[in-house]
Structure 1
Amino acid sequence: MSSDEQDTGDDRARDGARSSGRRDPDRERRAAERARRIRERRAAERRGAGTPADTADTAAGVTDDGVADDRVADDRAAGTDRTGTAGRGSGRGAAAAVRDRTAARAAERSRSRDPRYRRRRLVALLATAAVVLLGMSAAGWWALGQYGPPVATVRVDGTRQIPVRDVEDAAGDQTGVPLAAVDTDGVAARVSAIPGVAAVEVDRSWPDTLVVVVTERTPAAVLDTPDGPKLVDVTGFVYRDAPPDVRLPRLQLPRIAPDDPATLAAVGVLQALPVPVRDQVQTLSLGGGGSTFELGLTEDRRVLWGPWSDTGQTAARARVLGPVLQRPGAVYDVSSPSLVTVRQR
């Protein structure tokens, strides 16, 4: 029997087996293997890398139909591989990507355990929160300045000698202005220009009141000027006309100014005296060629105070002067507090 006749007989036998309902295990196995490789290849294409199964099949020189390709084996023996080059490259790329991701995760975990990294992260979070809060506050303040409640009342506190009306006029008409939009610095500057005002604070009292708190100057003495007597405060500032009935010592100095050392020493002496003694002082002048102070008291008495530049003795001299004035005399020398002298004319 020839080979063609034998193949024809085999085909007939297989056809007879199929027609009789018998299964061909070899064909089913090859079909299942092809289907498996197709699924794995498609999955590898979606992942962008070859599967271990593809790599193994390619390395073995097996084609999709399960038949060994002699050319693949020859190429591998010669040091080349037509089917395996791309697979190995893709496999190496996938492995490198996995290693990079693993190293990145390990580095991130290491940084997260570092106290310095945690502190920097906390600082960044706090800074971000602060920026957000500042932005929200600025937006809220802007909204209040545009649409907030208007000023209904201007309240003035702290005045004793200064008329309230003068303060209100200096503050300006703020009625109807949104309370948040009031220029408090401008109001304070205008009120501070009033003679007799030492300091001003302008506050908002929600929902609709502007509060102006005035601190008046404290008068310490009177200065006679060509324009009439003026009040001098405890800082040596000449600020307003003296009332006709004011009972304060009169300063008789060549220069009165807040930056003048003799002026500051003079008001310091007057402030250090006990009130009963201060009420007896009528004048404070320079003596001894301009280097000492001399106090003129009621009943034509005098006090030799001593060098005005020696301010360290001011408190001690003021303390001994009260008891000394109980003694009869006309001239009281307290320039040396530990050795006070009293003499008649």
Structure 2
Amino acid sequence: MAGPTTAKRGATTSPSGPPPPPSGARRFRLPRPRLRRPGRRGVIIIAVLAALLGGFAAWVLYGSNWLRLESVRATGTDVLTPQEVVAAASAPLHTPLASVDTDAVERRLLARLPRLKRVEVTRSWPHTLGLEVTERTPKLLLQTNGKFVEVDSEGVRFATVARAPKGVPLLKMTVSDTPGLRRFGTGRLLRAAVAVAQDLPAAVRPEVRTVRVRSYDSITLELAGGRTVLWGSREQGAEKAKVLAALLKAARDARHFDLSVPSAPAVSGS
């Protein structure tokens, strides 16, 4: 006869927790709380409050004097002055700052001041418009009628000045009316010359006085002291720059350098 602690055959026991409900027992769940939807009156009140808030926000932005444009500030200038940039922007003072068309201000600046390469117009709440500008930098100069036209790294002629900026080479286009000129065009030859000026080693740039273009494959540099460098085309510019820097150190008395084939440079006139 089994004792009182003997388990029935096939029965399972749980180490902890309440015993499972008996077979066939029904489960009961507590009812979930239901959110009450606002009535018609509540909906009307919410709509009226939202309209009032929206109207107040619109009045603050466009009707009040709290957020009006009172000052315009320009930064990033070098040759130009901040006053010139602000004047060219023609921003509508004493109007709501939110209504200022920043894209229109940017277009006006780029159209009126060709020296500017990029313009970023930002609102600085509550009363200021910021103009962050980037000026074009001359890489070459074209001389015409006693003045100098500045050409940037993109080949853009952006300004005419009475004095040549220090350290900027003069570009001389001595291209005859040849099939090569008709094929490449003056614009492409100009960009090729700018690319050569860009590729020059930093230590050599102050020595360059003139970049002379005879054809797309015949670009020559005239350095201080009467030295000349036959660069050839704009191709392999980085390699030619390294070779030129090395030759100027190794052959200090040389007068002529031929880099048209950088893997086989030539030096003469020492």
Summarize deviations over 1:195-242 as a string: whole Å, max 9, x none.
311111111011111001111001101101136211111111111123
Which residue type is aligned with residue 233 of structure 2? P
Match for residue 302 of structure 1 among 228, 233, 236: 228
Give matches, 1:180-219, under 5 Å. Answer: 180-192=98-110, 193-219=112-138
Instruction: Give the number of the structure whose alpha-carbon radius of gyration is greater.
Output: 1
- Alpha carbons of structure 1 residues 330 and 181: separation in structure 2 relative to 1, 3 Å: same
SS state at 1:161 partner: coil
Partner residue, 1:293: 219
1:170 and 2:104 correspond: no
Larger proportion of strand? 2
Q: Equivalents in 1 of 2:216, 2:153: separation in Å?
A: 21
Give matches, 1:58-77, under 5 Å. Answer: none
Which residues of structure 1 form unaligned runs of 5+? 1-135
Partner residue, 1:275: 202
Larger relative contact order (Cα-Cα within 8 Å, sequence gap ≥ 6): 2
1:233 and 2:158 correspond: no
Larger proportion of helix? 1
SS state at 1:200 partner: strand
Which residue type is aligned with residue 285 of structure 1? R
Match for residue 170 of structure 2 among 250, 255, 258: 250
**CA offset at residue 259 of structure 1?**
8.2
Which residue type is aligned with residue 120 of structure 2? E
Partner residue, 1:103: none
Q: Equivalents in 2 of 1:336, 1:226: separation in Å?
A: 37
**CA offset at residue 191 of structure 1?**
1.1
Which residue type is aligned with residue 286 of structure 1? V
Partner residue, 1:266: 193
Length-normalised TM-score, structure 2? 0.68
Which residues of structure 2 form unaligned runs of 5+? 1-52, 176-184
**CA offset at residue 243 of structure 1?**
5.1
Length-normalised TM-score, structure 1? 0.54
Summarize deviations over 1:146-205 as a string: whole Å, max 9, x none.
446101221101101112111111112532111101121121111112131111111101
1:332 and 2:257 correspond: yes
- Alpha carbons of structure 1 residues 259 and 211: separation in structure 2 relative to 1, 3 Å: farther
